[in-house]
Structure 1
Amino acid sequence: MAKQSTQTLALLNQLAADEVETAMQILAHAMQQLEQAERQRTMLEQYQQEYQQQWQLAAQKGLKADLYRNFQGFFSQLELAVRSQNAQIEQCQANVQHKRQLLQEKQRKQKSFEVLITRAKTLQAKAENKRDQKMMDEFASRAKRSRL
C-alpha cells in the first residue's frame, strides 16, 4: 500500500514538474514579448529624436506654414505612438508578473509533492526498519528458546 502511495505521489510530482516546465516556457515567451515591445519603444524614441532634430534644422532655415503643420502633426503622431507603446509595455510587464506568479505557484505545488514523497519514503523506511527489527527480535527469541 505504501509503495502505491509513493508511486502515486511520484506520478503527481512528474505532472507538477511538467506544469512547471510549461509555465517556464510561457513566462519566457511573455518576457520575449516585453523585450520586443521595449525595443520597439526605443526605435520609436530614436526616430522621434531624429525627426525633432530634422524639424529644428528646417525651422532654422525657415518653414512654410503647411510644412510646419505637417511637421507638428507628424510629431504629435509619433508622441502618440510612443505613449501607446509605453502602455503596451506596461501591459507586457503586468503579464510577465502574472506569469511569474503562476510559475511560482506551480513550483510550490511541485515542491509540496517532493516533500510528501520524502515523508512517505521516510515513513516507509521506518516501517521497514521496524519490521526488520521485529523479525530480528523473533529470530533471536527463537534461537534462545532452541538453545534452552
Structure 2
Amino acid sequence: MARQSTQTLTLLSQLAGDEVEAAMQALAQAMKQLEQGQQQKTLLGQYQQEYEQQWQHVVQKGLKADLYRNFQGFFSQLETAVQSQNAQIEQLQSVVLHRQQLLQEKQRKQKSYEVLISRANTLHEKVERKRDQKMMDEFASRAKRTTL
C-alpha cells in the first residue's frame, strides 16, 4: 500500500514538473514579448527625437501653412503611437508578473510533492529496518534456543 502511495505521489510530482516547465516557457515568451515591446518603444523614441530635430530645422527656415499642418498631424500620430506602446509595455509587464507568480506557485506545488515522497520513502525505510531488525532478533533467538 505504501509503495502505491509513493508511486502516485511520484506521478503527481512528474505532472507538477510538467506544469513547471510549461509555466517557465510561458514566462520566457512573455519576457521576450516585453523585451520586443521595449525595443520598439526605444525605436519610436529615437524616431520622435529625429523628427523633432527636423521640425526645428524646418521651422528656422520658415514653412508654409500646409507643411505646418502635415508636420503637426504626423507628430500627433507619432505621439499617439508612443503612448500606445507605453500602454502595451505596461500590459506586458503585468503579464510577466502574473506568469512569475504562477511559476512560483507551480514550483511550490512540485516541491510539496517531493517533500511528501521523501517522507513516504523515509517512513518506508524505517518500517523495513524495523522488520529486518525483528527478523534478525527472531533468528538470533532461534539460534540461541537451538544451541542450548
Q: Give the AA of the match of 2:115.
A: V
Task: Measure the CA separation in 2 of the matches of 1:91 and 1:9.
Answer: 38
> Once the 2 structures are TM-superposed, how far is the Cα of residue 39 of structure 1 from its aligned partner?
1.0
User: Which secondary structure does the structure 1 equivalent of 2:130 belong to?
Assistant: helix
| Structure 2 unaligned regions, length at least 5 | none
Structure 1 stretches of 4+ moved >2 Å: none
Q: Which residue of 2 aligns with 1:143?
A: 143
User: Which secondary structure does the structure 2 equivalent of 1:10 belong to?
Assistant: helix
Give TM-score scaled by structure 1 length.
0.98
Task: Measure the CA separation in 2 of the matches of 1:60 and 1:142.
Answer: 112
| 2:65 maps to 1:70 | no
> Once the 2 structures are TM-superposed, how far is the Cα of residue 69 of structure 1 from its aligned partner?
1.6
Task: Measure the CA separation in 1 of the matches of 2:129 and 2:20.
Answer: 35
Q: Which residue of 2 aligns with 1:5?
A: 5
Q: Which residue of 2 aligns with 1:21?
A: 21
Task: Measure the CA separation in 2 of the matches of 1:119 and 1:127.
Answer: 12
Task: Measure the CA separation in 2 of the matches of 1:137 and 1:4.
Answer: 29
Q: Which residue of 1 aligns with 2:129?
A: 129
Number of residue pairs aligned between Structure 1 and Structure 2? 148
User: Which secondary structure does the structure 2 equivalent of 1:54 belong to?
Assistant: helix
Task: Measure the CA separation in 2 of the matches of 1:135 and 1:4.
Answer: 24
> Once the 2 structures are TM-superposed, how far is the Cα of residue 40 of structure 1 from its aligned partner?
1.0
Task: Measure the CA separation in 1 of the matches of 2:24 and 2:79.
Answer: 35
Task: Measure the CA separation in 1 of the matches of 2:35 and 2:17.
Answer: 27
Q: Give the AA of the match of 1:93.
A: Q
> Once the 2 structures are TM-superposed, how far is the Cα of residue 66 of structure 1 from its aligned partner?
1.5
User: Which secondary structure does the structure 1 equivalent of 2:122 belong to?
Assistant: helix
Task: Measure the CA separation in 1 of the matches of 2:63 and 2:52.
Answer: 14
What is the RMSD of the two structures over their aligned residues, measured on CA atoms? 0.7
Identity across matched positions, percent: 76
Q: Which residue of 2 aligns with 1:87?
A: 87
Q: Which residue of 2 aligns with 1:55?
A: 55
| Structure 1 unaligned regions, length at least 5 | none
Task: Measure the CA separation in 1 of the matches of 2:82 and 2:56.
Answer: 20
User: Which secondary structure does the structure 2 equivalent of 1:63 belong to?
Assistant: coil
